[in-house]
Amino acid sequence: MSMAGNLRKVTGLGRVSGLRKVAQLARRRSRVDLSHPARSPLGSSVVNCVTYQDGVRLPGCADLVEAVRRVRRSGTGFVWLGLHEPTDREFAGIAELFDLHPLAAEDAVEAHQRPKLEHYGNTLFAVLKTVCYVEHERLTASSEVVNTGEIMVFTGEDFVITVRHGRHGSLGPLREELEADPQQLAKGPAAVLHTIADHVVDDYLSVTDALQGDIDQVETEVFSENGARLDPGRIYQMKRELLELKRAVVPLVRPVEDLATRPLRVVAPEIQAYFRDVLDHLIRAKDQIAAFDELLNSILQAHLAQVTVAQNEDMRKITAWAAVIAVPTMVCGVYGMNFDHMPELHWRFGYPLVMTVMAAGCLALYRGFRRNGWL
């Protein structure tokens, strides 16, 4: 049985005393790195559990309880536990071991939370919305453009617990990137929180850049020759997808501001400088989203104006042709009356004269409407 299997047993226990029962199994088996989705069994909540000291990943197969005890006994290093969509039962033992607040533990399991930062004693609980751009050949009224997930991060003085929801936003590559920079990783759990926030915000910028292409395409089609025939549902769909991205980005500004400016016991001042850089990128993403929203409003208004103009042009054409047809209709209506004594009724050239008058009247009206742009 792998270390991940032992950890899954750990997460299934509700009391810390139960956690210790798998210690011997953990010591005898080598741990499998499950940091990537390809190596993580589908449906398994435990992704990885690693101990770091002075920025270096420690070898060995100590179980979770032993790893925490060793870190706290030495007073250095920290434990990074990664989970993916745990259940209440799986998370209960972990919450008790790390003394996590019940409300935060409940939020971590249920997901669908608003981005936020909460303080529970010496523990920070951060909720970040992850986003990814959904590739599509052509934007339609039902195309999915932005897909969202969540990452919950519990940050203490000697531990980091990441709980991920959704099928994207894997932290495996991020973990490897941090391990390649021991100097940054040695700054403790706050450095991990910063790297995760930086990664999430960078994804925001990537998605906004991709959305720029879709919005440009819609704008080009709206102002094309047949722009009035464009399905307005495509514009509404872009606005809905942009709203989903906005719900992920905008509420995160205040939590990142707190991490960058407020004195926090878990976050050292040197790490706050890094959070200020994340805040700059986040504000840039927020401004881009606001600009996209205004642009889509303008595009939608322009499209509706084009539709109105096209309808007016159609009505003018219909009115002009109705006026042209009214001339022969009037003449035919007069001479269709059943009277015996009418001018030129029995005249030999009456029919050619009437036809000539109708044709001349129709031609005069057609030229007049054509000159005025109605036809």
The mean of the pLDDT values for the chain is 80
User: Long-range pairs for 170-174 at CB < 8 Å and ≥24 separation?
Assistant: 170/35, 170/36, 170/37, 171/35, 171/47, 171/82, 171/196, 172/35, 172/36, 172/37, 172/47, 172/48, 173/36, 174/199
In which residue are the tokens 């205040």 written?
254
DSSP class of 181: -
- pTM of the predicted model, to two decimals? 0.73
Q: For residues 166 and 306, give the distance between their C-alpha atoms in angstroms, rounded to a whole number.
A: 41
Decide: 117 and 125 in contact? Cβ < 8 Å: yes
DSSP conformation letters of 106-166: HHHHH--PPSEEEEETTEEEEEEEEEEEPP-SS--TT---EEEEEEEEEE-SSEEEEEEES
Domains of the chain as residue ranges with CATH: 36-306 (3.30.460.20), 310-372 (1.20.58.340)
| Mean pLDDT of all residues in 93-101 | 90
Most confidently predicted of 24-33, 74-83, 132-141, 277-286: 277-286
Q: For residues 41 and 4, give the distance between their C-alpha atoms in angstroms, rounded to a whole number.
A: 10
What residues pair up with 118 in beta bridges, in sequence order?
125
User: Is 32 a residue whose pLDDT tops 80?
Assistant: no
The count of residues in the chain is 375
- What is the DSSP pairing of strand 78-84 with strand 116-120? unpaired
Q: For residues 265 and 184, give the distance between their C-alpha atoms in angstroms, rounded to a whole number.
A: 18
Per-residue CA distances from 292 to 105, 134, 149, 306 (Å) = 36, 18, 22, 21
- pLDDT over 70, % of the chain: 83
Task: Give the pLDDT score at 62.
Answer: 56
Q: How big is the CA angle at 162 (ends 147 and 155), to the nearest 5 degrees? A: 130
Amino acid letter, residue 283? I
Q: Residue 261: enclosing H or E segment and its boundaries?
A: helix 253-261
Grade residue 339 by pLDDT with cuts at 50, 70 and 90.
low
Task: Give the pLDDT score at 9.
Answer: 44
